[in-house]
Structure 1
Amino acid sequence: MFNYEIIQSLNDLELSLYRYIMKNIEKVVYMRIRELADEAHVSTTTILRFCKKLNCEGYSEFKVKLKLYLEENESTKVNNDTSIIVDFFKKLDNSELDRKLNVLCDLIKKASNVVFIGTGTSGILCKYAARYFSSIGKFSMYIDDPYFPRNYKLYEDSIIIAMSVSGETRTVIDYISNIKRENTTLVSITNSENCTISKISDLNISYYVQQERLGISDITTQIPVLYIIESMGKRLHNKFIVDSSDYSK
């Protein structure tokens, strides 16, 4: 309701009204226009102009939209059922997941560089993954800023591992679409394989857990992603040991 473009369009008086409404939103939904004008120290004309900028025909429609906005953003209980995580670990006997992890380990082992890309919570996991892989002997980097300058030479003979719950993060899609033109291999780790990032990847690993949101925030469990990261790292480390043993012979 109050998006960036609308707030940018407000003048000083309308911004004062906006601040009052946000601080007293539960009271405002029941106020008459004259009551709001007196409380916020603005004219009814300012209120009607404010409503128009929010694409409302009048004050009555504004109050209806404000009430809906309030209901949508009310605190709700989040699911604390561990069955989602238990179900994921039960599915780990899946031979297809095991095969993909082994293929990915082989790709990482051959790559000149490993770069993890993601934003938000996925960006934090990218940082963890880069550190974890570097700890087991495969130096890796992470990019959690989709506007990070693109040095295409860096990505030659690299493997890019994109992380995204939805697989539809536009800035990540734009970034990896550009670097995919180089001699790179793109792998994605997403909640579902039926997403844009998965479809443009050379290899996708999906974990399928129930997606959860709290308002605009995605609070889907990231335990499956942590498992995938650490499983890849340990498999890769074991491959290094085997290769070292063969070389010493």
Structure 2
Amino acid sequence: MFTTEVIASFNELELHLYHYVMQHKDKVVYMRIRDLAEGANVSTSTVMRFCRKLDCDGFTEFKVKLKLLLDEDSEPAIKTGRHVLTEFFERTENEQFTLKLDDAADEVMQANHVYFIGLGSSGTLAEYGSRYFSNLRTFSTFLKDWYVPIHADLQDSLTIALSVSGENEFTISHIHKLKMSGSKILSITNNAQSTIAKIADKNISYYVTEEKYNTTNITTQIPVVYILEDIARRAYQKRINPE
């Protein structure tokens, strides 16, 4: 609505009116045109020119568009994390889930190198996972540069791919390149039915309620941290106490 081009077209009075609207936008949507003109100390004709520059047929349409803009910018309710995590931690006591963690630790033990990939918050956790695994005597690397060509034989390596949605195109593309080079893929996703979960050799899914703030995915990553640390610790215990 208030694009750079539109704001640049305002004359001095219209720019003054713009600042007034921005400072009192919550009240302007309920004002009459005369109230706005008096409040901003401009004429009603100035208000009408202002509305036309905003591609509105009149003051009523301007108020409707402004209300929609305010609704878009309103802060969505964000749930507290405790109830989201309760079910996940209950599942960590499930034998089937712990067997998956133990199986993943075996894969880590058998690999001569563990690679981590992920994008966004998953990339941040992939880097953390790489460091955590290295701290517990597992040779691991976070692959940060997506465009580095992979020519090496990765036959004895394991790639741990992180993705909340399991549908990130960059991560899927990277997985294909790593699989072509011979790496096994262990994915950690929120949903076992996602593309990344399906194309991986093995998958661990944590199933928590997915949340978004506007267009940003803010789904809790605590389950991912738990899974990564648990796998690393299990692999370490297997290494120092072989059966």
Q: TM-score, normalised by structure 2?
A: 0.76
- Are the equivalent residues in 1 in contact too, given 2:153–2:182 (CA < 8 A)? no
Residues 98/80 of structure 1: CA separation in 2 closer, same or farther (3 Å cut): same
Aligned length: 222
Q: CA offsets, 1:155-210, max 9 Å, x none? A: 44321111111111122112212322221111110111111111111111001111
Q: SS of the counterpart of 2:210?
A: coil
Aligned residues of 1:25 and 1:70 also touching (Cα < 8 A) = no
More off after superposition, 122-131 vs 68-77: 68-77
User: Which residue number in structure 1 is paired with residue 180 of structure 2?
Assistant: 181
Query: Is the aligned partner of 1:99 residue 2:99?
Result: yes
Matching of residue 230 in structure 1 with residue 229 in structure 2: yes
For residues 49-75 of structure 1, the C-alpha deviation after alignment (integer angstroms, 9 at most, x for no partner) is: xx9xxxxx9998887566445323311
Unaligned runs of 5+ in 1: 3-9, 52-56
What is the Cα-based RMSD across aligned positions, in Å? 3.5
- 1:72 aligns to 2:75 (yes or no): no
Amino acid of the residue matched to residue 13 of structure 1? Answer: E
| Unpaired segments ≥5 residues, structure 2 | 11-17, 34-44
> Percent of pairs identical after alignment?
37
Query: What amino acid does structure 2 have at the position aligned with 1:216?
Result: T
Larger radius of gyration: 2
Distance 1:160 1:154 in 2: 13
Question: Which position in structure 2 is the counterpart of 1:118?
Answer: 118
Contact 1:192/1:206 (<8 A) preserved: yes
1:35 to 32, 36, 47: 47
Match for 2:94: what amino acid? N
* Residue 27 (structure 1) shift: 3.6
Q: Distance in 2 between matches of 1:64 and 1:155?
A: 59
**How far did residue 143 of structure 1 move?**
2.6
Partners of 1:200 and 1:141 lie apart in 2 by 21
TM-score (norm 1): 0.74
Say if 1:107 and 1:215 are closer, same or farther in 2 by CA, change over 3 A. Answer: same
Distance apart, 1:87 and its partner CA: 1.8
Task: Please state how far the C-alpha of 1:151 moved relative to its aligned partner.
Answer: 2.2
- Which residue pairs with 1:148 in the alignment? 147
